A and B are shown apart, each in its own frame.
Chain A
Amino acid sequence: MAKRISGLQREVLQVYRHCIRAAHRKPLTNQPNFVRYIRTEFSKYRDISRKDFSTIEHLLRVGNRRLKMYSASEVKDIH
């Protein structure tokens, strides 16, 4: 049985979900670029300790800000 996920982990999953949804609203040809970008950004901190609250909270804020920035309809592609 998998460990029950904490509230903070739940938050991370929600940000990830919102990112993926935002990526699917982009032009169809560029969607894979966005998904790849989201995956690499999240996987950078894959091995962070689940007890490292302040870092995770900081990253959540950064992630939410970046999500807001990139989900603007003017942003069509990403590298």
Chain B
Amino acid sequence: MLSSMLRGSSVALRTVSARSLARPVGVSAMMSPIRLYSSSLNKDEISTRIIDVVKAFDKTTASAQVTNETHFAKDLGLDSLDTVELLVAIEEEFDIEIPDKVADEIKSVGEAVKYIETNPEAN
């Protein structure tokens, strides 16, 4: 009985996949949207770009080693206003705008990476 159920479902799957294969051809012939979304952004790339921004920020202590665990206030000696400036710089790097509520919670490189990763508009 189980196998017959399985067979049944595989048939259903096949018909579905056949349909979904057939459809995109027609659609793509009508319109060809090129959407450059952040699917190409991987975590390492994001974190290196953020670390570069942090290093370029003029109030960062030059000697400080910047890693994913770096905390803006504790490790870099930035006050809350400097952190805001740094986040705006990161926003510009990825061409997004971080909402005020979220931005208040980002206090380290790792948290910034996590936010950019989940933001579909970042690029």
Contact = CB atoms under 8 A, between A and B. Distances in A.
B85 A20 contact: yes
B104 A16 contact: no
A5 B88 CA distance: 20
Interface string A2-42: 10010001100110110011001000000000010001001
B46 interface: no
B88 A13 contact: no
A14 B91 CA distance: 15
Given A2-B73, A24-B88, A24-B92, A16 B81 contact: yes
B84 A17 contact: yes
A58 to B, nearest CB: 19
Interface residues of B, number: 13
A10 B102 CA distance: 12
Contact of B103 (A17, A39, A42): A17
B contact face: mostly helix, strand, loop, or mixed: helix
A6 B97 CA distance: 23
Contact of A20 (B73, B84, B100): B84
Contacts of B73: 2
Nearest to A2: B73
A13 B92 contact: no
Interface of B: 73, 80-81, 84-85, 87-88, 91-92, 97, 100, 103-104
29 contacts: A2-B73, A5-B80, A5-B104, A9-B80, A10-B100, A10-B104, A13-B80, A13-B81, A13-B100, A13-B104, A14-B100, A16-B81, A16-B84, A16-B85, A17-B84, A17-B87, A17-B88, A17-B100, A17-B103, A20-B84, A20-B85, A20-B88, A21-B88, A21-B91, A21-B97, A24-B88, A24-B92, A35-B85, A39-B81
